[in-house]
Every structure is written in structure tokens, then in C-alpha cells.
Amino acid sequence: MTMDQDSNAMADTDFAVDLLRHVVVGLVRREGIALSTQQFGVYLACYLCPEAATMRGLVQEMEMPRLIVMRALEKLAELDLIRREPDPRDSRNQILHHTQTGQAMLADLHSLTAGVNELSVA
């Protein structure tokens, strides 16, 4: 790796970490739903990974123990961020659905990240 490539990689990493900081601080400042890191990760996987449309797919996608994912899903359902229903083909599995509340939170995330992109261009 050349010095320029190394410098660009570091700048990309710095931007990614700053973006994460900006989003997390924005979420903490706003009123309403507060999620743990695990719950937030499960939420993002549910909304951004097509393979995570079922609990089984989510466990595989995240490479996390089923019990941890189940607990996170319980909290997300309690907060109306997702809706779960039994999989008619396999009662041990659950189908995960997006909700209006969850879609609104995703829109908030898009707004927060757009703000960072505007700052980085300036």
C-alpha cells in the first residue's frame, strides 16, 4: 500500500467513525426510542438486509446467538419497530415485518446521515 492509499484509507475510516458518532449523538439527543447497541444492530439488520426477513435469517446474517436476537426482537416489537408473526411453513421461525414507527426511525437515520454528508462536502 502506498502512502497515498494509506492516507485515503485512514481518511475513509475517520469519516466512517465520525458519521457513526454523528448518528449516535443525534439519536441520543432526540426524544423517544432508546435502543441498546445489540437492539440497534438487530433493527438495522431487519430494515437493511433482505436476508433478515425471518428470525432464522437474522440470526445467520448477524452471526449472533438466537437468544440474544430473540431478546432484541422482543424489545423492537414492544416499541413497535417491527412486527413478528409465526412462519406458517415452520412454527419455530418468525417472519419479521416493518412498521410505520420503524420506517419513521429509518427516515430519521437517513436525515442524520444526510446532514453529515452535507458537512463533509463543505
pLDDT score, position 19: 81
- Is 89 strand, coil or helix? coil
Alpha helix segments (H runs only) across the chain: 3-29, 37-48, 55-62, 66-78, 100-121
Q: Are 54 and 94 in contact (CB under 8 A)?
A: yes
Q: What is the pLDDT of residue 52?
A: 74
The least confident of 64-68, 77-81, 95-99, 114-118 is 114-118
What's the CA dihedral at 83, 37, 22, 25 to 10 degrees? 90
Whole-model pTM? Answer: 0.80
Confidence category of residue 121, pLDDT binned at 50, 70, 90: very low
Domain limits, the chain: 3-121
Higher pLDDT, 76 or 109: 76
Q: Across residues 27-31, what is the average pLDDT? A: 80
Query: Which positions ≥6 away from 40 have C-beta within 8 Å?
Result: none
Q: Which CATH number fits domain 3-121: 1.20.1530.20, 3.30.420.40, 1.10.10.10, 3.40.1400.10?
A: 1.10.10.10
Q: What is the pLDDT of residues 52-94, one digit of tens each?
A: 789 999 999 999 999 999 999 999 999 999 999 999 999 889 9
The percent of residues in the chain predicted with pLDDT above 70, rounded, is: 84
